[in-house]
Structure 1
Amino acid sequence: MTFGSHASEFAGRPVVTVPVDGPLPTVDAPVSWRFSRWDFEEKSEDTLSEEFRDAFERFVAQAGPSVESLVIGAWGYAAFNPAPIRQLCAAAERLPALRALFLGDMTSEECEISWMKVGDVSPLLTAYPALEVLRVRGGEEFDFSPVRHDRLRELAVESGGLSREFVGAVLASDLPALTDLELWFGTEDYGGDTTVEDLTPLLAGELFPQLRRLGLRNAEIADGLAVALASAPVVGRLERLDLSNGTLGDEGAAALLAGQPLTHLTALDLHHHFLSPEVAASVVAALPGVQVDVSDPQEPDEYDGESYRYTAVAE
């Protein structure tokens, strides 16, 4: 799977696109504004897209005080142009109502996730102390620094190859209000070198006291994660657990079922998996009060006598 479409909903609101020209559409309910300017200008490599910069400034001047939720799509050509993080930070005083931000909502035709130049996204949290939801997508030059933020409830990091340094910085952050954490690990081929051991403080339940949903998604190490989660203290206080989009197989599912009870969960998301039909059915049967998603089964590729499983998103 690659990203073939833009988000239609974000932060519980429908996404409405900011037009290239003219006034904003009239809306009769809260929305997430989507701002995007795709522009391929090879000579502008490693510099902020001027078209994006100027158009975004006009948008902020037009609607800034009323914008509560914002989705940033293409910022020029993301393989050439770095993400507009500094511009977003500089606009913080003119976006006083912003509570939800998605940086990087673009399709693979606009830019493959592994090519996206993003940078360190943690300054966004410093610039917006009232932010409650942050979703970021990226691959190349994708970084995070430890930060304290008192209001952030949801943090999602989408990547085809998430580094252990990025993950370590997230886990070193002080996020007392965090209820929802979602990490996409990806594959080693694209820089995803995080190990199960790197997640020890998280799995031990030592971090984020309000955490109720944990997504360890798009993971090449999905079976290892399942084995660790089978006895991880953090699971006992979760309401929702998400291991979707990864390479989960029968061995990982069996470990989950043989471990600590999961009947307290409201939802277990395993979609895009490599479970046999029998094991998938056994997971559903074992958790009758839990909303279990075992849709989108995958078949491993066979090559030269070897079997290969793939995450939903890599390149």
Structure 2
Amino acid sequence: MTVNATLDTFFGKPVRDFSHGDRVGDPRAVYRLMQEYEADETQEELLAEFLGQTNLATLDALVIGSWANGPEESPAGYLEALIARRAELPALRALFVGDMTCEDCEISWIIQTNYAPLLAAFPQLETLRIRGAEQLVVPPFAHASLKELAIETGGLPDAVVAGIAQSTLPQLEHLELWLGDENYGFGGSIAPYADLLARIDPSRLTYLGLRNATISDEIAEHVARQPWLGRLHTLDLSMGTLGDRGALALAASPHIAGLKRLDVRHHYIGDAAIAKLRALPLELIIDGAEEEDDGERYVQVSE
């Protein structure tokens, strides 16, 4: 399956589209910059057009949607222009880059870029959400304000995971990674994620999402053994291939007491194991089980 919808809300506000020639009409909204395929205006020109109609001193959130040719160019023009005008954007706290559907560009085709310059230029940034992993670079970085980091992919490269693991993020509360499928860039092993969890001290997180994973059972078994599990508010293993093995490991975990919410939507869990999860003293977010295809399980979003 693919991504079929864009965000309705971001940073607690409604999202409105802004394309070339539009007017900013809702000062309460977060705007999503949208380019048509092979648009005449550049990324820098569309951003300048939008910023020219905005109170720069109070602009706190921005969404970058489809750019003119997602499979062939990155959003570097947008990011470089934001960096060049960083002194004019003191209130910017939240940024989502790549909020587009499969009709704009399949998630595995979205070209990304290096986020080190952006993170260095905006030390006040609290939320960064990225969709797509082709050419994505997130080297080790230090950031004193970042609370939420989310990377949505059909296949997350191990190098990106290692970069996050080696970063210094003292305020991080929400970590969300879409692991994806080996055919689209996922490394196939739990080892980088075990290392990540060992390094970042998940006990300080309110939300941990290791979503859209072909190794959901291995992740669940690993997490079930961790003393910090019950200090999370939400564990999100949705969109993946979780089955009885992982579900039973979580249900039997001596550390799960204290967890408030468990999200396992898009799963392959049998009725007996579901009953054990339902017996846990937490909010279980679950839907109907997926059916294996000739013994194969699939993540929700890959291509």
Residue 229, structure 1, aligned to residue 223, structure 2:
yes
Residue 299 of structure 2 corresponds to which residue in structure 1?
311
The correspondence for 1:36, drawn from 34, 37, 59, is 34
Alpha-carbon shift at residue 194 of structure 1 (Å)? 5.2
Residue 236 of structure 2 corresponds to which residue in structure 1?
242
Residue 295 of structure 1 corresponds to which residue in structure 2?
287
After alignment, is 108-117 or 229-238 more displaced?
A: 229-238
Alpha-carbon shift at residue 210 of structure 1 (Å)? 3.0
Name whichever structure is richer in strand by fraction. 1
- Output the CA distance in 2 between the equivalents of 1:115 and 1:202: 26
Aligned-pair identity in percent equals 39
Alpha-carbon shift at residue 95 of structure 1 (Å)? 2.0
TM-score, structure 2 as length reference: 0.93
- Output the CA distance in 2 between the equivalents of 1:9 and 1:162: 25
Mapped contact 1:246–1:310 kept (Cα < 8 A): yes
Instruction: In structure 2, give the amino acid aligned to 1:310.
Output: Y
Q: Secondary structure at the match of 1:135?
A: strand
Aligned-residue CA RMSD (Å)? 1.8
What do residues 168-197 of structure 1 show as CA deviations (whole Å, max 9, x unaligned)? 001110000001101111011111005222
Residue 116, structure 1, aligned to residue 98, structure 2:
no
Q: How does 1:1-315 map to 2 (within 5 A)?
A: 1-27=1-27, 29=28, 31-40=29-38, 50-63=41-54, 64-84=56-76, 85-193=79-187, 195-204=189-198, 206-207=200-201, 210-285=204-279, 287-288=280-281, 290-302=282-294, 307-315=295-303
Residue 44 of structure 1 corresponds to which residue in structure 2?
none
Query: Alpha carbons of 1:144 and 1:221: their partners in 2 closer, same or farther (altered >3 Å)?
Result: same
Mapped contact 1:148–1:174 kept (Cα < 8 A): yes
Alpha-carbon shift at residue 225 of structure 1 (Å)? 0.3
Instruction: In structure 2, give the amino acid aligned to 1:154.
Output: E
Instruction: In structure 1, give the amino acid aligned to 2:254.
Output: Q
Query: Alpha carbons of 1:4 and 1:206: their partners in 2 closer, same or farther (altered >3 Å)?
Result: closer
TM-score, structure 1 as length reference: 0.90
Please identify runs of 4+ aligned residues in structure 1 that moved more than 6 A. Answer: none
- Output the CA distance in 2 between the equivalents of 1:181 and 1:7: 18
Alpha-carbon shift at residue 125 of structure 1 (Å)? 1.3
Number of corresponding residues: 300
- Output the CA distance in 2 between the equivalents of 1:170 and 1:296: 33
What do residues 135-181 of structure 1 show as CA deviations (whole Å, max 9, x unaligned)? 00113112211110001100001011001110000111000000110
Q: Secondary structure at the match of 2:31?
A: strand
Alpha-carbon shift at residue 67 of structure 1 (Å)? 1.5
Long gaps (5+) in structure 2: none
Long gaps (5+) in structure 1: 42-48
